[in-house]
Amino acid sequence: MPASATSPLLKRLPPGLWTLLAWYAAAVAPIVEYVVLTPRHKYSLSYPGEGLDSFGARALLTLAFALVLAAAVLTRRRAGAAYGLLILGTVVSTMAWRQDEIPPTQFLALDIALCHIAATRPRRTSLTAGGAALAVPVGYLLLRLWTGNGSGTASEPFMALTVVIAWLIGHSAHQARAHTEELHARAAAQAVIAERLRIAREMHDTVAHSIGIIALQAGAAARTVETRPGQAREAMLVVEREGRETLSGLRRMLGTLRQADEERSSAFPGGHGHARASRDPAPGLADLERLAATTTDAGVRVEIRRLGGHRPLPADIDLAAFRVVQESVTNVVRHSGADSCRVDVDHRPHELLIRVSDRGRGTGTAGDTGYGLVGMRERVALLHGEFTAGPRPGGGFLVTVRLPVPAAADVTATGARVLAAEGTGGR
Q: State which residues of the chain have pLDDT below 50.
A: 1-7, 259-260, 263-279, 364-370, 409-427
The pLDDT value recorded for residue 327 is 87
Cα–Cα distance, 302 to 232 (Å, whole number): 44
The pLDDT value recorded for residue 268 is 37
CB-CB contact of 68 with 20 (8 Å): yes
- The CA distances from residue 156 to 69, 124, 133, 297, 380, in Å, are 25, 24, 11, 70, 61
Query: How would DSSP label each residue in 318-358?
Result: HHHHHHHHHHHHHHIIIII--SEEEEEEEE-SSEEEEEEEE
Count of C-beta atoms within a 10 Å radius of residue 97: 21
Rg of the Cα atoms in the chain: 35
Nearest to 257 by CA among 318, 215, 196, 310: 196
CB-CB contact of 292 with 225 (8 Å): no
Burial 316-342 (b: 16+ CB within 10 A, else e): bbbbbbbbbbbbbbebbbebbbbebbb
Residues 6+ apart with CB under 8 A from 294: none
- The CA distances from residue 419 to 72, 94, 424, in Å, are 78, 96, 9
The pLDDT value recorded for residue 186 is 83
pLDDT digits (tens, 9 = 90+) for 310-332: 778 887 888 889 989 988 888 88
